[in-house]
Homo-oligomer: A and B are copies of this chain.
Amino acid sequence: MELKAVKNIKFVEGGVCAAKGFKANGIQCGLAHAGASVTKKKNDLALIVADTECTAAAVYTTNKVKGAPILVTKEHLKNGRAKAVIVNSVNANTCNADGVEKANKMCELAAKELGIDADDVIVASTGVIGQVLPIEPIANGMKELAEGLTYDGNSRALEAIMTTDTQKKEVAVEFELGGKTCTMGGMLKGSGMIHPNMATTLTFITTDAAISEELVQRALSDVVKVTLNRASVDGDTSTNDMVCVMASGSAGNKPVTKEDGEFEKFQTALYAIMMNLARMMARDGEGATKLIECAVSGADSDKTAEIVAKSVICSSLFKAAMFGEDANWGRILCAVGYADAEFDINKVDVKIGSAKGVIDVCKNGAGVEFSEEKAKEILGEEVIEIIISIGSGNGSAVAWGCDLTYDYVKINGDYRS
Protein backbone atom coordinates (compact mmCIF):
# COMPACT_ATOMS: atom_id res chain seq x y z
CA MET A 1 0.00 0.00 0.00
CA GLU A 2 1.43 3.40 -0.96
CA LEU A 3 1.86 6.34 1.37
CA LYS A 4 -0.80 9.01 0.94
CA ALA A 5 0.72 12.34 -0.08
CA VAL A 6 0.38 15.59 1.89
CA LYS A 7 1.20 18.97 0.34
CA ASN A 8 4.72 20.33 1.01
CA ILE A 9 5.74 17.14 2.80
CA LYS A 10 8.51 14.86 1.53
CA PHE A 11 8.63 11.28 2.75
CA VAL A 12 12.03 9.89 3.81
CA GLU A 13 13.34 6.63 5.31
CA GLY A 14 14.39 5.88 8.86
CA GLY A 15 11.29 5.83 11.09
CA VAL A 16 12.05 6.99 14.64
CA CYS A 17 15.75 7.32 13.72
CA ALA A 18 15.14 9.60 10.74
CA ALA A 19 15.42 12.79 12.82
CA LYS A 20 18.90 13.94 13.81
CA GLY A 21 20.24 12.59 17.08
CA PHE A 22 17.87 9.69 17.84
CA LYS A 23 19.20 6.20 18.46
CA ALA A 24 17.13 3.05 18.84
CA ASN A 25 17.44 -0.66 19.47
CA GLY A 26 15.30 -3.75 20.01
CA ILE A 27 16.21 -7.15 21.41
CA GLN A 28 14.55 -10.40 22.37
CA CYS A 29 14.86 -10.45 26.16
CA GLY A 30 12.56 -13.44 26.60
CA LEU A 31 9.19 -12.23 27.90
CA ALA A 32 7.16 -15.36 27.17
CA HIS A 33 3.58 -15.12 28.35
CA ALA A 34 1.89 -17.76 30.46
CA GLY A 35 0.15 -20.38 28.37
CA ALA A 36 2.41 -19.85 25.38
CA SER A 37 3.93 -23.08 24.15
CA VAL A 38 6.95 -21.36 22.63
CA THR A 39 8.38 -17.87 22.92
CA LYS A 40 7.64 -15.99 19.73
CA LYS A 41 10.93 -15.57 17.91
CA LYS A 42 10.83 -11.82 17.74
CA ASN A 43 12.18 -8.83 19.62
CA ASP A 44 10.17 -7.89 22.72
CA LEU A 45 12.05 -4.96 24.31
CA ALA A 46 12.87 -1.62 22.68
CA LEU A 47 14.69 1.56 23.60
CA ILE A 48 14.66 4.94 21.86
CA VAL A 49 17.10 7.56 23.11
CA ALA A 50 17.67 11.20 22.18
CA ASP A 51 21.16 12.73 22.28
CA THR A 52 19.71 15.80 23.98
CA GLU A 53 16.77 16.45 26.27
CA CYS A 54 13.50 16.87 24.33
CA THR A 55 10.21 18.63 24.81
CA ALA A 56 7.69 15.83 24.88
CA ALA A 57 3.95 15.30 24.81
CA ALA A 58 1.61 12.33 24.92
CA VAL A 59 -2.03 11.36 24.67
CA TYR A 60 -3.45 8.28 26.36
CA THR A 61 -6.30 5.80 26.28
CA THR A 62 -9.69 6.92 27.62
CA ASN A 63 -10.37 3.41 28.97
CA LYS A 64 -11.00 3.47 32.75
CA VAL A 65 -8.73 0.46 32.97
CA LYS A 66 -5.30 1.97 32.36
CA GLY A 67 -2.08 0.06 32.04
CA ALA A 68 0.40 0.79 34.83
CA PRO A 69 2.94 2.26 32.33
CA ILE A 70 0.36 4.93 31.40
CA LEU A 71 0.21 6.10 35.01
CA VAL A 72 3.99 6.26 35.30
CA THR A 73 4.51 8.02 31.95
CA LYS A 74 1.88 10.62 32.88
CA GLU A 75 3.92 11.43 35.99
CA HIS A 76 7.17 11.61 34.06
CA LEU A 77 5.75 13.92 31.38
CA LYS A 78 4.31 16.44 33.84
CA ASN A 79 7.32 18.68 33.14
CA GLY A 80 6.98 18.22 29.36
CA ARG A 81 10.52 16.84 29.04
CA ALA A 82 11.90 13.41 28.20
CA LYS A 83 15.04 11.78 26.83
CA ALA A 84 14.21 8.10 26.31
CA VAL A 85 11.47 5.55 25.75
CA ILE A 86 11.53 2.00 27.11
CA VAL A 87 8.81 -0.32 25.84
CA ASN A 88 8.05 -4.03 25.86
CA SER A 89 5.56 -6.24 24.06
CA VAL A 90 4.09 -9.67 25.07
CA ASN A 91 2.85 -8.45 28.49
CA ALA A 92 0.71 -5.28 28.94
CA ASN A 93 1.53 -4.88 32.66
CA THR A 94 -2.13 -4.02 33.26
CA CYS A 95 -4.51 -5.10 36.06
CA ASN A 96 -1.62 -6.33 38.17
CA ALA A 97 -1.23 -5.33 41.83
CA ASP A 98 2.50 -4.62 41.29
CA GLY A 99 2.09 -2.90 37.91
CA VAL A 100 3.22 0.61 38.86
CA GLU A 101 6.21 -0.76 40.78
CA LYS A 102 7.28 -2.76 37.72
CA ALA A 103 6.78 0.17 35.34
CA ASN A 104 8.89 2.37 37.60
CA LYS A 105 11.51 -0.34 37.73
CA MET A 106 11.67 -0.42 33.91
CA CYS A 107 12.40 3.33 33.91
CA GLU A 108 15.04 2.97 36.61
CA LEU A 109 16.82 0.14 34.80
CA ALA A 110 16.90 2.13 31.54
CA ALA A 111 17.94 5.36 33.26
CA LYS A 112 20.81 3.67 35.11
CA GLU A 113 22.17 2.09 31.94
CA LEU A 114 21.90 5.41 30.04
CA GLY A 115 23.13 7.62 32.87
CA ILE A 116 19.99 9.80 32.89
CA ASP A 117 17.17 10.53 35.37
CA ALA A 118 14.38 7.93 35.64
CA ASP A 119 11.75 10.63 35.27
CA ASP A 120 13.15 11.50 31.83
CA VAL A 121 12.06 8.04 30.67
CA ILE A 122 8.74 7.28 28.98
CA VAL A 123 7.54 3.72 29.62
CA ALA A 124 5.00 1.65 27.68
CA SER A 125 3.89 -1.99 27.53
CA THR A 126 1.61 -3.96 25.22
CA GLY A 127 0.41 -7.55 25.22
CA VAL A 128 -1.71 -9.77 27.46
CA ILE A 129 -3.66 -8.04 30.24
CA GLY A 130 -3.68 -9.34 33.80
CA GLN A 131 -0.52 -11.40 33.96
CA VAL A 132 2.30 -10.36 36.27
CA LEU A 133 5.19 -8.82 34.31
CA PRO A 134 8.44 -10.70 34.95
CA ILE A 135 11.08 -8.01 35.46
CA GLU A 136 14.14 -10.31 35.31
CA PRO A 137 14.31 -10.67 31.52
CA ILE A 138 14.10 -6.88 31.23
CA ALA A 139 16.79 -6.33 33.88
CA ASN A 140 19.04 -8.96 32.31
CA GLY A 141 18.61 -7.55 28.80
CA MET A 142 19.05 -3.85 29.52
CA LYS A 143 22.82 -3.72 29.07
CA GLU A 144 22.69 -5.46 25.68
CA LEU A 145 19.78 -3.23 24.67
CA ALA A 146 21.61 0.00 25.54
CA GLU A 147 24.94 -1.09 24.08
CA GLY A 148 23.26 -1.93 20.78
CA LEU A 149 21.70 1.52 20.30
CA THR A 150 22.46 2.93 16.83
CA TYR A 151 21.29 5.86 14.71
CA ASP A 152 19.66 3.38 12.33
CA GLY A 153 18.11 0.95 14.84
CA ASN A 154 14.50 1.93 14.08
CA SER A 155 13.58 -1.39 12.51
CA ARG A 156 14.86 -3.45 15.47
CA ALA A 157 12.92 -1.25 17.87
CA LEU A 158 9.79 -1.46 15.75
CA GLU A 159 9.89 -5.26 15.70
CA ALA A 160 10.04 -5.25 19.49
CA ILE A 161 6.71 -3.44 19.91
CA MET A 162 4.72 -5.56 17.46
CA THR A 163 2.19 -8.14 18.72
CA THR A 164 -0.29 -9.46 16.15
CA ASP A 165 0.94 -6.88 13.63
CA THR A 166 1.99 -8.40 10.32
CA GLN A 167 3.41 -5.22 8.76
CA LYS A 168 6.04 -2.84 10.03
CA LYS A 169 4.37 0.53 10.37
CA GLU A 170 6.71 3.53 10.25
CA VAL A 171 6.74 6.84 8.40
CA ALA A 172 9.23 9.71 8.31
CA VAL A 173 9.06 13.11 6.65
CA GLU A 174 11.15 16.18 5.94
CA PHE A 175 9.74 19.67 6.25
CA GLU A 176 11.07 23.17 6.68
CA LEU A 177 10.83 25.51 9.66
CA GLY A 178 12.38 28.99 9.66
CA GLY A 179 14.69 28.08 6.79
CA LYS A 180 15.98 24.90 8.48
CA THR A 181 15.27 21.40 7.25
CA CYS A 182 13.58 19.42 10.00
CA THR A 183 12.87 15.71 10.09
CA MET A 184 10.16 13.81 11.94
CA GLY A 185 9.55 10.08 12.07
CA GLY A 186 7.24 7.70 13.86
CA MET A 187 6.49 4.05 14.41
CA LEU A 188 3.26 2.41 15.46
CA LYS A 189 2.07 -0.95 16.71
CA GLY A 190 -1.58 -1.83 16.58
CA SER A 191 -3.67 -4.45 14.93
CA GLY A 192 -6.45 -5.50 17.33
CA MET A 193 -8.30 -3.88 20.26
CA ILE A 194 -8.46 -0.74 18.18
CA HIS A 195 -11.30 1.74 18.16
CA PRO A 196 -11.88 5.49 17.88
CA ASN A 197 -12.33 7.84 20.85
CA MET A 198 -8.85 7.60 22.22
CA ALA A 199 -5.26 7.78 21.29
CA THR A 200 -5.29 4.40 19.61
CA THR A 201 -2.36 2.07 20.05
CA LEU A 202 1.31 2.62 20.84
CA THR A 203 2.95 5.24 18.65
CA PHE A 204 6.34 6.85 19.13
CA ILE A 205 7.32 9.92 17.12
CA THR A 206 10.67 11.70 17.17
CA THR A 207 11.70 14.98 15.58
CA ASP A 208 14.71 17.26 15.58
CA ALA A 209 12.49 20.33 15.29
CA ALA A 210 12.51 22.80 18.19
CA ILE A 211 9.06 23.44 19.70
CA SER A 212 7.81 24.35 23.16
CA GLU A 213 6.31 21.78 25.56
CA GLU A 214 2.92 23.47 25.33
CA LEU A 215 2.79 23.52 21.53
CA VAL A 216 4.05 20.01 20.96
CA GLN A 217 1.20 18.84 23.20
CA ARG A 218 -1.32 21.02 21.37
CA ALA A 219 -0.15 19.78 17.96
CA LEU A 220 -0.42 16.15 19.07
CA SER A 221 -3.82 16.58 20.73
CA ASP A 222 -5.23 18.20 17.59
CA VAL A 223 -3.76 15.80 15.06
CA VAL A 224 -4.69 12.61 16.93
CA LYS A 225 -8.37 13.59 16.66
CA VAL A 226 -8.36 13.47 12.86
CA THR A 227 -5.96 10.55 12.41
CA LEU A 228 -5.64 7.70 14.92
CA ASN A 229 -8.93 8.52 16.63
CA ARG A 230 -10.66 8.05 13.30
CA ALA A 231 -9.41 4.51 12.78
CA SER A 232 -11.06 1.37 14.09
CA VAL A 233 -10.34 -2.31 13.71
CA ASP A 234 -12.76 -3.96 16.08
CA GLY A 235 -14.51 -1.42 18.28
CA ASP A 236 -12.43 -2.31 21.33
CA THR A 237 -10.64 0.56 23.07
CA SER A 238 -7.37 -0.71 24.49
CA THR A 239 -6.17 -0.19 28.05
CA ASN A 240 -2.59 0.72 27.09
CA ASP A 241 -2.94 3.16 24.19
CA MET A 242 -0.37 5.91 24.08
CA VAL A 243 1.05 8.22 21.45
CA CYS A 244 4.10 10.28 22.34
CA VAL A 245 6.19 12.83 20.50
CA MET A 246 9.76 13.84 21.43
CA ALA A 247 11.19 17.00 19.87
CA SER A 248 14.94 17.53 20.35
CA GLY A 249 15.54 20.86 18.62
CA SER A 250 18.75 19.60 16.97
CA ALA A 251 17.63 20.91 13.58
CA GLY A 252 18.51 24.37 14.84
CA ASN A 253 15.27 26.13 13.88
CA LYS A 254 14.08 29.01 16.02
CA PRO A 255 11.81 27.23 18.51
CA VAL A 256 8.10 27.23 17.66
CA THR A 257 6.46 29.00 20.58
CA LYS A 258 3.23 30.41 19.22
CA GLU A 259 0.38 29.28 16.94
CA ASP A 260 1.70 30.84 13.76
CA GLY A 261 2.55 29.59 10.29
CA GLU A 262 5.56 27.69 11.65
CA PHE A 263 3.29 25.84 14.09
CA GLU A 264 1.01 24.95 11.18
CA LYS A 265 3.96 23.50 9.26
CA PHE A 266 4.90 21.41 12.28
CA GLN A 267 1.31 20.18 12.55
CA THR A 268 1.19 19.32 8.86
CA ALA A 269 4.31 17.19 9.17
CA LEU A 270 2.82 15.47 12.22
CA TYR A 271 -0.43 14.96 10.30
CA ALA A 272 1.41 13.38 7.34
CA ILE A 273 2.99 10.86 9.70
CA MET A 274 -0.03 10.08 11.86
CA MET A 275 -2.52 9.94 8.96
CA ASN A 276 -0.34 7.43 7.15
CA LEU A 277 0.27 5.44 10.33
CA ALA A 278 -3.52 5.36 10.91
CA ARG A 279 -4.07 4.01 7.39
CA MET A 280 -1.34 1.40 7.88
CA MET A 281 -2.86 0.39 11.20
CA ALA A 282 -6.34 -0.09 9.73
CA ARG A 283 -4.93 -1.97 6.72
CA ASP A 284 -3.03 -4.26 9.10
CA GLY A 285 -6.07 -4.75 11.35
CA GLU A 286 -6.16 -8.27 12.71
CA GLY A 287 -6.95 -10.61 9.82
CA ALA A 288 -7.71 -7.73 7.43
CA THR A 289 -7.25 -7.97 3.68
CA LYS A 290 -8.36 -4.44 2.80
CA LEU A 291 -8.15 -0.83 3.97
CA ILE A 292 -11.55 0.89 3.96
CA GLU A 293 -11.48 4.68 3.73
CA CYS A 294 -14.86 6.29 4.36
CA ALA A 295 -15.21 9.97 3.42
CA VAL A 296 -18.35 11.81 4.50
CA SER A 297 -19.19 15.31 3.26
CA GLY A 298 -22.18 17.66 3.17
CA ALA A 299 -22.75 17.40 6.93
CA ASP A 300 -23.84 20.29 9.14
CA SER A 301 -20.57 19.92 11.06
CA ASP A 302 -17.32 17.93 10.97
CA LYS A 303 -18.53 16.15 14.12
CA THR A 304 -21.67 14.86 12.38
CA ALA A 305 -19.59 13.72 9.42
CA GLU A 306 -17.21 11.94 11.77
CA ILE A 307 -20.03 10.12 13.59
CA VAL A 308 -21.43 8.87 10.27
CA ALA A 309 -18.03 7.84 8.88
CA LYS A 310 -17.17 5.92 12.05
CA SER A 311 -20.57 4.23 12.10
CA VAL A 312 -19.90 2.82 8.64
CA ILE A 313 -16.34 1.60 9.24
CA CYS A 314 -17.40 -0.01 12.54
CA SER A 315 -20.32 -2.01 11.13
CA SER A 316 -19.55 -5.74 11.35
CA LEU A 317 -22.04 -6.50 8.59
CA PHE A 318 -20.50 -3.94 6.25
CA LYS A 319 -16.98 -5.14 7.10
CA ALA A 320 -17.88 -8.76 6.35
CA ALA A 321 -19.45 -7.68 3.02
CA MET A 322 -16.19 -5.91 2.11
CA PHE A 323 -14.28 -9.13 2.81
CA GLY A 324 -16.70 -10.87 0.46
CA GLU A 325 -16.24 -8.06 -2.10
CA ASP A 326 -20.02 -7.77 -2.14
CA ALA A 327 -21.49 -4.36 -3.10
CA ASN A 328 -24.22 -4.71 -0.47
CA TRP A 329 -24.76 -0.94 -0.15
CA GLY A 330 -27.91 -1.48 1.96
CA ARG A 331 -25.56 -2.21 4.86
CA ILE A 332 -23.77 1.10 4.33
CA LEU A 333 -27.09 2.96 4.38
CA CYS A 334 -28.19 0.95 7.41
CA ALA A 335 -25.05 2.02 9.31
CA VAL A 336 -25.53 5.63 8.17
CA GLY A 337 -29.11 5.38 9.44
CA TYR A 338 -28.28 4.25 12.95
CA ALA A 339 -25.43 6.75 13.39
CA ASP A 340 -26.22 8.95 16.37
CA ALA A 341 -26.58 12.28 14.52
CA GLU A 342 -29.32 14.38 12.94
CA PHE A 343 -29.67 14.66 9.16
CA ASP A 344 -32.15 13.87 6.40
CA ILE A 345 -31.71 10.26 5.30
CA ASN A 346 -33.52 11.08 2.04
CA LYS A 347 -30.61 13.28 0.97
CA VAL A 348 -27.94 10.62 1.38
CA ASP A 349 -25.83 9.61 -1.67
CA VAL A 350 -23.33 6.76 -1.61
CA LYS A 351 -20.50 5.93 -4.04
CA ILE A 352 -18.08 3.00 -3.92
CA GLY A 353 -14.62 3.44 -5.39
CA SER A 354 -11.04 2.25 -5.65
CA ALA A 355 -8.14 2.49 -8.09
CA LYS A 356 -10.46 0.72 -10.56
CA GLY A 357 -13.04 3.54 -10.64
CA VAL A 358 -16.03 4.94 -8.77
CA ILE A 359 -19.74 4.05 -9.09
CA ASP A 360 -22.97 5.46 -7.65
CA VAL A 361 -24.91 2.88 -5.63
CA CYS A 362 -27.44 5.05 -3.79
CA LYS A 363 -28.97 8.47 -4.46
CA ASN A 364 -31.35 10.36 -2.19
CA GLY A 365 -31.56 7.39 0.16
CA ALA A 366 -32.69 4.91 -2.49
CA GLY A 367 -30.81 2.43 -4.65
CA VAL A 368 -29.71 3.18 -8.20
CA GLU A 369 -28.88 0.60 -10.83
CA PHE A 370 -25.22 -0.26 -11.23
CA SER A 371 -23.11 -2.90 -12.90
CA GLU A 372 -22.43 -5.75 -10.48
CA GLU A 373 -19.46 -6.67 -12.65
CA LYS A 374 -17.92 -3.21 -12.28
CA ALA A 375 -18.64 -3.29 -8.55
CA LYS A 376 -16.77 -6.60 -8.21
CA GLU A 377 -13.82 -5.14 -10.07
CA ILE A 378 -13.73 -2.08 -7.78
CA LEU A 379 -14.06 -4.14 -4.60
CA GLY A 380 -11.29 -6.51 -5.68
CA GLU A 381 -8.72 -3.83 -4.79
CA GLU A 382 -6.75 -3.49 -1.56
CA VAL A 383 -7.83 0.09 -0.78
CA ILE A 384 -11.60 0.74 -0.95
CA GLU A 385 -13.22 4.17 -0.74
CA ILE A 386 -16.76 4.70 0.48
CA ILE A 387 -17.85 8.21 -0.48
CA ILE A 388 -20.95 9.51 1.25
CA SER A 389 -22.73 12.85 0.95
CA ILE A 390 -25.41 13.51 3.57
CA GLY A 391 -26.63 16.97 2.55
CA SER A 392 -25.42 20.42 1.57
CA GLY A 393 -23.46 21.44 4.67
CA ASN A 394 -19.71 22.11 4.89
CA GLY A 395 -18.86 19.43 7.46
CA SER A 396 -16.64 16.57 6.36
CA ALA A 397 -14.53 13.76 7.84
CA VAL A 398 -12.56 10.70 6.82
CA ALA A 399 -12.38 7.49 8.88
CA TRP A 400 -10.35 4.34 8.30
CA GLY A 401 -11.26 0.73 8.93
CA CYS A 402 -10.75 -2.74 7.51
CA ASP A 403 -12.71 -5.80 6.49
CA LEU A 404 -13.83 -8.52 8.92
CA THR A 405 -12.35 -11.89 8.03
CA TYR A 406 -12.03 -15.48 9.17
CA ASP A 407 -8.54 -14.66 10.36
CA TYR A 408 -9.81 -12.02 12.81
CA VAL A 409 -11.78 -14.79 14.52
CA LYS A 410 -8.85 -17.18 14.34
CA ILE A 411 -6.36 -14.69 15.80
CA ASN A 412 -8.69 -13.78 18.65
CA GLY A 413 -10.22 -17.15 19.40
CA ASP A 414 -7.16 -18.07 21.38
CA TYR A 415 -4.89 -15.05 21.66
CA ARG A 416 -3.28 -16.07 24.92
CA SER A 417 -1.69 -19.27 23.59
Proximity string of chain A (226-237) to chain B, C-beta cutoff 8 Å, 1 when within and 0 when not? 000000001111
A54 at the interface (CB under 8 A from B): no
Residues B130 and A338 in contact, CB atoms below 8 Å apart = no
A95 at the interface (CB under 8 A from B): yes
Proximity string of chain A (304-315) to chain B, C-beta cutoff 8 Å, 1 when within and 0 when not? 000000000011
Output the least CB separation between A165 and chain B (Å). Answer: 16
Contacts of A338 in B (CB 8 A): 62-65, 195, 197, 236-237
A326 to B409 CA separation, bound complex (whole angstroms) = 12
Proximity string of chain A (72-97) to chain B, C-beta cutoff 8 Å, 1 when within and 0 when not? 00000000000000000000101111
Closest to A328 in B: B416
A94 to B326 CA separation, bound complex (whole angstroms) = 18
A–B Cβ pairs within 8 angstroms, 26 of them: A62-B338, A64-B338, A64-B343, A65-B336, A65-B337, A66-B337, A92-B330, A97-B366, A128-B328, A129-B330, A130-B330, A130-B362, A130-B366, A195-B338, A197-B338, A235-B314, A235-B315, A236-B331, A237-B337, A320-B408, A321-B412, A323-B413, A328-B416, A405-B409, A406-B406, A406-B410
A335 at the interface (CB under 8 A from B): yes
Give 5 closest A-B pairs by Cβ, nearest first.
Answer: A129-B330, A324-B413, A65-B337, A320-B412, A130-B367
Contacts of A330 in B (CB 8 A): 92, 94-95, 128-130, 239
A217 at the interface (CB under 8 A from B): no
Closest to A417 in B: B326
A274 at the interface (CB under 8 A from B): no
Residues A409 and B62 in contact, CB atoms below 8 Å apart = no
Contacts of A175 in B (CB 8 A): none
Contacts of A211 in B (CB 8 A): none
A35 at the interface (CB under 8 A from B): yes
A268 at the interface (CB under 8 A from B): no
Chain A residues 214 to 259 lying within 8 A of chain B, measured CB to CB, are 234-239
A135 at the interface (CB under 8 A from B): no
Closest to A97 in B: B366
Of A95, A372, A404, A416, the most chain B CB neighbours within 10 A belong to A95
Output the least CB separation between A257 and chain B (Å). Answer: 36
A92 to B367 CA separation, bound complex (whole angstroms) = 13
A317 at the interface (CB under 8 A from B): yes
Residues B413 and A236 in contact, CB atoms below 8 Å apart = no
Contacts of A410 in B (CB 8 A): 406
Of A404, A412, A416, the most chain B CB neighbours within 10 A belong to A412
Contacts of A155 in B (CB 8 A): none
Of A130, A315, A326, A405, the most chain B CB neighbours within 10 A belong to A130
Closest to A322 in B: B413
